[in-house]
Amino acid sequence: MRRVVIGAFVSMDGVMQAPGGPDEDATGGFPFGGWVAPLADTDPVFAEEIGALFGQPYDLLIGRRTYDIFAAHWPFAEGGPDDAIAKQFNRITKYVATRSHDPLTWRGSVAIHDAATDVARLKQEDGPTLVTQGSSDLISTLLAHDLVDEMRVFTFPVLLGRGKKLFNDGAHPHAYRLTHSRVSPNGLICASYVRDGGVKIGSLAQNPPHPVEIARREKVQREGASFRHTNAVATLGVRDVGVAARFYEDTLGLSRTDAEGDEVVVLSSGDTAVNVYRSSYAGTNKATALTWTVDDVEDVVQTLKAKGVTFEHYDLPQTKREGDVHVSGGIKVAWFKDPDGNILSVVNR
**Average pLDDT value for residue range 199-223:** 88
* Averaged pLDDT, 260-266: 83
Share of the chain above pLDDT 90, in %: 62
**164 contact partners, CB below 8 Å, separation of at least 6:** 15, 16, 17, 25, 27, 28, 30, 136, 137
Q: In this predicted structure, what is the pLDDT of residue 224?
A: 64
pLDDT of residue 265: 87
Confidence of residue 249 (pLDDT cuts 50, 70, 90): confident
Contact criterion met (CB below 8 Å) for 239 and 322: no
**Burial bucket for residue 161 (CB in 10 Å: 0-12, 13-18, 19+):** exposed
Q: Measure CA 28 to chain center.
A: 17
Cβ-based burial of 272 (10 A; exposed 0-12, middle 13-18, buried ≥19)? middle
Residue 267: predicted pLDDT:
84
Please compute Rg for the chain using Cα positions: 23
Q: What per-residue confidence (pLDDT) applies to 270? A: 75
Q: Is the pLDDT assigned to residue 166 strictly greater than 70?
A: yes
Give the model's pLDDT for residue 213: 93
In angstroms, the CA 39 to CA 44 distance is: 9
Q: State the burial class of residue 277 (Cβ atoms within 10 Å of its Cβ: 0-12, 13-18, 19+).
A: middle
Per-residue pLDDT averaged across 212-224, rounded? 82
**Is pLDDT at 262 greater than 70 in this prediction?**
yes
Query: Is 147 in contact with 195 (CB distance < 8 Å)?
Result: no
pLDDT at 225 over 70: no
Q: What's the pLDDT score for residue 29?
A: 86
Over 90: is that where the pLDDT of 72 sits? yes
Closest CA to 346 of 289, 291, 296: 291
- At residue 201 the predicted structure's pLDDT band, cuts being 50, 70 and 90, is very high
> Comparing C-alpha atoms, which of 317, 239, 343, 333 is closest to residue 281?
239
Kindly give, in sequence order, each residue whose CB lies less than 8 Å from that of residue 119, ignoring residues fewer than 6 positions away.
4, 61, 95, 112, 130, 142, 145, 147
User: Which of 21-35, 57-71, 311-325 has the largest mean confidence?
Assistant: 57-71
Domain residue spans of the chain: 4-195, 232-348
> What is the architecture of the domain spanning 4-195?
3-Layer(aba) Sandwich (3.40)
Average pLDDT taken over every residue of the chain? 91
- Neighbour-count burial of 151, counting CB atoms closer than 10 A to its CB (0-12 exposed, 13-18 middle, 19+ buried): buried
For the cut 90, the answer to whether the pLDDT of residue 181 exceeds it is yes
277 φ, ψ to 5°?
-140, 155
Question: Tens digits of per-residue pLDDT, 103-153?
Answer: 999 999 999 999 999 999 999 999 999 999 999 989 999 999 999 999 999
Rounded to 5 degrees, what are φ and ψ at 201? -125, 160
75-110: per-residue pLDDT in tens? 999 999 999 999 999 999 999 999 888 899 999 999
Neighbours of 128 (CB within 10 A): 13
**Sorting pLDDT into bands at 50, 70 and 90, what band is 256?**
confident
Reported as a pLDDT band with limits 50, 70 and 90, residue 192 is very high
Contact 221, 247 (CB under 8 A): no
Task: Evaluate the CA torsion angle 64, 31, 36, 10 in order and state its sign.
Answer: negative
Cα of 60 vs its chain's centroid, Å: 18
Alpha carbons 257 and 250: distance in angstroms, whole number:
14
Architecture of domain 232-348: Roll (3.10)
Distance CA 150, CA 4 (A): 7
pLDDT score recorded for residue 51: 93
Going by C-beta distance under 8 Å and a sequence separation of 6 or more, which residues neighbour residue 147? 4, 116, 119, 120, 123
- The pTM for the full model equals 0.76
What span, in angstroms and rounded, lies between the C-alpha atoms of 225 and 334? 14
3-state secondary structure 24-42: CCCHHHCCCCCCCHHHHCC
Residue 253 predicted with pLDDT over 90: no
Burial of residue 134 (number of CB atoms within 10 Å: 0-12, 13-18, 19+): buried
Residue 41 — pLDDT band, cuts 50, 70, 90?
Answer: confident
